[in-house]
Amino acid sequence: MAKRTNEQWLDELQSTGLKYDNAIIDLRAILVSGLRRGLLNQINTSVPEFETQAEDFAQEAVLKILDNLDNFAGRSQFTTWAYKIAVSVALTELRRKRWQDRSLDGIIDDAQGNFTPSLATDPAPAPENATERAETIAKVQQMIDERLTDKQRSALVAAIIEGLSTNELARQMKMKPNAVYKLLHDARLQLKKSLDQEGLTPDDILSVFE
Protein backbone atom coordinates (compact mmCIF):
# COMPACT_ATOMS: atom_id res chain seq x y z
CA MET A 1 0.00 0.00 0.00
CA ALA A 2 1.45 3.35 -1.03
CA LYS A 3 2.10 5.99 1.60
CA ARG A 4 0.58 9.36 0.77
CA THR A 5 0.78 12.88 2.08
CA ASN A 6 -2.40 14.75 2.88
CA GLU A 7 -2.09 16.58 -0.41
CA GLN A 8 -1.68 13.33 -2.34
CA TRP A 9 -4.78 11.81 -0.74
CA LEU A 10 -6.86 14.83 -1.69
CA ASP A 11 -5.46 14.96 -5.21
CA GLU A 12 -5.96 11.26 -5.93
CA LEU A 13 -9.47 11.06 -4.43
CA GLN A 14 -10.52 13.95 -6.64
CA SER A 15 -8.90 12.57 -9.76
CA THR A 16 -10.02 9.85 -12.18
CA GLY A 17 -8.74 6.62 -13.61
CA LEU A 18 -6.13 4.39 -12.00
CA LYS A 19 -4.96 7.04 -9.53
CA TYR A 20 -8.49 7.35 -8.13
CA ASP A 21 -9.08 3.59 -8.16
CA ASN A 22 -5.92 2.86 -6.19
CA ALA A 23 -6.65 5.57 -3.64
CA ILE A 24 -10.15 4.19 -3.03
CA ILE A 25 -8.83 0.63 -2.64
CA ASP A 26 -6.18 1.72 -0.15
CA LEU A 27 -8.53 3.98 1.80
CA ARG A 28 -11.14 1.24 2.12
CA ALA A 29 -8.50 -1.23 3.36
CA ILE A 30 -7.22 1.28 5.92
CA LEU A 31 -10.74 1.92 7.22
CA VAL A 32 -11.65 -1.77 7.51
CA SER A 33 -8.45 -2.47 9.41
CA GLY A 34 -9.00 0.52 11.67
CA LEU A 35 -12.59 -0.42 12.42
CA ARG A 36 -11.47 -3.79 13.78
CA ARG A 37 -9.54 -1.92 16.47
CA GLY A 38 -11.95 0.97 16.92
CA LEU A 39 -15.03 -1.18 17.52
CA LEU A 40 -13.49 -3.71 19.91
CA ASN A 41 -15.51 -2.31 22.81
CA GLN A 42 -18.72 -2.08 20.80
CA ILE A 43 -19.15 -5.44 19.07
CA ASN A 44 -17.41 -8.79 18.74
CA THR A 45 -14.95 -8.12 15.93
CA SER A 46 -13.64 -11.69 15.95
CA VAL A 47 -16.79 -13.28 14.53
CA PRO A 48 -16.77 -14.15 10.80
CA GLU A 49 -19.68 -11.87 9.98
CA PHE A 50 -17.78 -8.80 11.20
CA GLU A 51 -15.80 -8.76 7.96
CA THR A 52 -18.98 -8.09 5.97
CA GLN A 53 -20.19 -5.60 8.55
CA ALA A 54 -16.88 -3.72 8.49
CA GLU A 55 -16.98 -3.60 4.69
CA ASP A 56 -20.46 -2.07 4.89
CA PHE A 57 -19.30 0.54 7.38
CA ALA A 58 -16.22 1.33 5.29
CA GLN A 59 -18.31 1.62 2.12
CA GLU A 60 -20.59 4.19 3.73
CA ALA A 61 -17.62 5.99 5.28
CA VAL A 62 -15.81 6.28 1.93
CA LEU A 63 -18.88 7.92 0.42
CA LYS A 64 -19.11 10.34 3.35
CA ILE A 65 -15.40 11.11 3.10
CA LEU A 66 -15.71 11.83 -0.63
CA ASP A 67 -18.65 14.13 0.13
CA ASN A 68 -16.60 16.07 2.70
CA LEU A 69 -13.16 16.38 1.14
CA ASP A 70 -13.56 20.16 1.03
CA ASN A 71 -13.99 20.16 4.81
CA PHE A 72 -10.64 18.53 5.52
CA ALA A 73 -8.58 21.29 7.16
CA GLY A 74 -5.26 19.48 7.16
CA ARG A 75 -4.70 19.83 10.91
CA SER A 76 -4.16 16.06 11.20
CA GLN A 77 -3.15 13.18 8.98
CA PHE A 78 -5.78 12.57 6.32
CA THR A 79 -6.09 8.92 7.37
CA THR A 80 -6.72 9.98 11.00
CA TRP A 81 -9.50 12.28 9.86
CA ALA A 82 -10.96 9.57 7.61
CA TYR A 83 -10.74 6.98 10.37
CA LYS A 84 -12.73 9.21 12.75
CA ILE A 85 -15.44 9.53 10.13
CA ALA A 86 -15.52 5.74 9.67
CA VAL A 87 -15.87 5.10 13.40
CA SER A 88 -18.62 7.70 13.63
CA VAL A 89 -20.45 6.09 10.72
CA ALA A 90 -20.10 2.63 12.27
CA LEU A 91 -21.33 3.70 15.70
CA THR A 92 -24.27 5.55 14.19
CA GLU A 93 -25.22 2.53 12.09
CA LEU A 94 -24.94 0.24 15.11
CA ARG A 95 -27.22 2.49 17.14
CA ARG A 96 -29.92 2.88 14.58
CA LYS A 97 -29.82 -0.61 13.03
CA ARG A 98 -28.58 0.14 9.54
CA TRP A 99 -30.98 1.87 7.14
CA GLN A 100 -33.88 1.81 9.60
CA ASP A 101 -33.54 5.42 10.76
CA ARG A 102 -35.77 8.28 9.72
CA SER A 103 -33.52 9.31 6.87
CA LEU A 104 -33.68 10.42 3.27
CA ASP A 105 -31.41 7.46 2.62
CA GLY A 106 -34.46 5.23 3.03
CA ILE A 107 -35.66 5.32 -0.55
CA ILE A 108 -38.09 2.64 -1.73
CA ASP A 109 -39.39 1.60 -5.12
CA ASP A 110 -43.14 1.25 -5.41
CA ALA A 111 -45.18 -0.69 -7.98
CA GLN A 112 -45.14 2.27 -10.37
CA GLY A 113 -41.37 2.60 -10.19
CA ASN A 114 -41.46 5.76 -8.08
CA PHE A 115 -38.83 6.37 -5.44
CA THR A 116 -39.81 7.96 -2.13
CA PRO A 117 -38.44 8.24 1.40
CA SER A 118 -39.47 5.11 3.29
CA LEU A 119 -40.89 7.15 6.16
CA ALA A 120 -43.32 8.64 3.64
CA THR A 121 -45.05 5.28 3.48
CA ASP A 122 -45.92 5.29 7.18
CA PRO A 123 -49.69 4.84 7.45
CA ALA A 124 -52.17 7.44 8.66
CA PRO A 125 -50.20 10.67 8.90
CA ALA A 126 -51.64 13.30 11.21
CA PRO A 127 -54.31 15.30 9.33
CA GLU A 128 -52.45 18.57 9.82
CA ASN A 129 -49.34 17.05 8.21
CA ALA A 130 -51.02 15.24 5.33
CA THR A 131 -50.88 18.09 2.81
CA GLU A 132 -47.33 19.12 3.68
CA ARG A 133 -46.22 15.51 3.57
CA ALA A 134 -47.74 14.99 0.13
CA GLU A 135 -46.05 18.15 -1.18
CA THR A 136 -42.71 17.08 0.28
CA ILE A 137 -42.95 13.59 -1.22
CA ALA A 138 -43.74 15.11 -4.61
CA LYS A 139 -40.78 17.49 -4.37
CA VAL A 140 -38.31 14.75 -3.40
CA GLN A 141 -39.77 12.47 -6.09
CA GLN A 142 -39.25 15.18 -8.68
CA MET A 143 -35.64 15.71 -7.62
CA ILE A 144 -34.88 12.00 -7.90
CA ASP A 145 -36.63 11.68 -11.24
CA GLU A 146 -35.26 14.83 -12.85
CA ARG A 147 -31.86 15.41 -11.25
CA LEU A 148 -30.44 11.87 -11.30
CA THR A 149 -29.55 9.79 -14.30
CA ASP A 150 -31.16 6.37 -14.68
CA LYS A 151 -27.88 4.74 -13.71
CA GLN A 152 -27.46 6.92 -10.62
CA ARG A 153 -31.02 6.24 -9.51
CA SER A 154 -30.68 2.49 -10.02
CA ALA A 155 -27.37 2.34 -8.14
CA LEU A 156 -28.62 4.39 -5.21
CA VAL A 157 -31.74 2.29 -4.74
CA ALA A 158 -29.88 -1.01 -5.15
CA ALA A 159 -27.23 -0.03 -2.61
CA ILE A 160 -29.64 1.35 -0.03
CA ILE A 161 -32.84 -0.65 -0.31
CA GLU A 162 -31.57 -3.96 -1.61
CA GLY A 163 -28.49 -3.69 0.57
CA LEU A 164 -26.12 -4.69 -2.21
CA SER A 165 -22.44 -4.33 -1.45
CA THR A 166 -20.25 -2.37 -3.80
CA ASN A 167 -18.86 -5.57 -5.31
CA GLU A 168 -22.33 -7.07 -5.78
CA LEU A 169 -23.62 -3.88 -7.35
CA ALA A 170 -20.58 -3.70 -9.60
CA ARG A 171 -21.24 -7.23 -10.85
CA GLN A 172 -24.92 -6.46 -11.41
CA MET A 173 -24.18 -3.25 -13.29
CA LYS A 174 -21.10 -4.69 -15.04
CA MET A 175 -18.91 -1.91 -13.65
CA LYS A 176 -15.71 -1.75 -11.65
CA PRO A 177 -16.29 -1.40 -7.86
CA ASN A 178 -14.50 1.95 -7.76
CA ALA A 179 -16.67 3.24 -10.59
CA VAL A 180 -19.69 2.32 -8.45
CA TYR A 181 -18.29 4.38 -5.57
CA LYS A 182 -18.00 7.33 -7.91
CA LEU A 183 -21.53 6.78 -9.25
CA LEU A 184 -23.04 6.67 -5.76
CA HIS A 185 -21.01 9.67 -4.67
CA ASP A 186 -22.18 11.71 -7.66
CA ALA A 187 -25.81 10.71 -7.06
CA ARG A 188 -25.72 11.74 -3.40
CA LEU A 189 -23.94 14.98 -4.25
CA GLN A 190 -26.55 15.81 -6.87
CA LEU A 191 -29.39 15.26 -4.40
CA LYS A 192 -27.67 17.48 -1.85
CA LYS A 193 -27.21 20.21 -4.44
CA SER A 194 -30.85 19.90 -5.42
CA LEU A 195 -31.93 20.35 -1.81
CA ASP A 196 -29.68 23.39 -1.47
CA GLN A 197 -31.16 24.92 -4.61
CA GLU A 198 -34.62 24.51 -3.15
CA GLY A 199 -33.50 26.07 0.13
CA LEU A 200 -34.07 22.82 1.98
CA THR A 201 -32.09 20.67 4.35
CA PRO A 202 -32.75 17.01 5.23
CA ASP A 203 -34.03 18.20 8.61
CA ASP A 204 -36.57 20.46 6.90
CA ILE A 205 -37.93 17.50 4.98
CA LEU A 206 -37.88 15.07 7.88
CA SER A 207 -39.75 17.51 10.12
CA VAL A 208 -43.01 17.06 8.20
CA PHE A 209 -42.99 13.32 8.97
CA GLU A 210 -42.72 13.72 12.75
Segments forming the whole domain that contains residue 31: 6-96
Note the pLDDT tens digit of each residue in 12-55: 999 888 888 899 999 999 998 888 777 766 666 566 666 777 78
- Please check whether residues 79 and 12 belong to one and the same domain: yes
Same domain? For 117 and 203 the reply is yes
In angstroms, the CA 39 to CA 95 distance is: 13
156 with 87, same domain: the answer is: no
Answer with the one of 96, 123, 148 that is the final residue of a domain: 96
Residues 79, 111, single domain; the answer is no
Q: What is the CATH number of the domain that holds 80?
A: 1.10.1740.10
Kindly state whether residues 130 and 78 are assigned to the same domain. Answer: no
Domain boundary among 96, 131, 151: 96
Model confidence over 89-140: pLDDT tens digits? Answer: 888 777 654 434 444 444 434 434 444 444 444 555 555 566 777 777 777 7
What is this structure's pTM?
Answer: 0.54
* Domain count across the chain: 2
Q: Are residues 163 and 73 in the same domain?
A: no
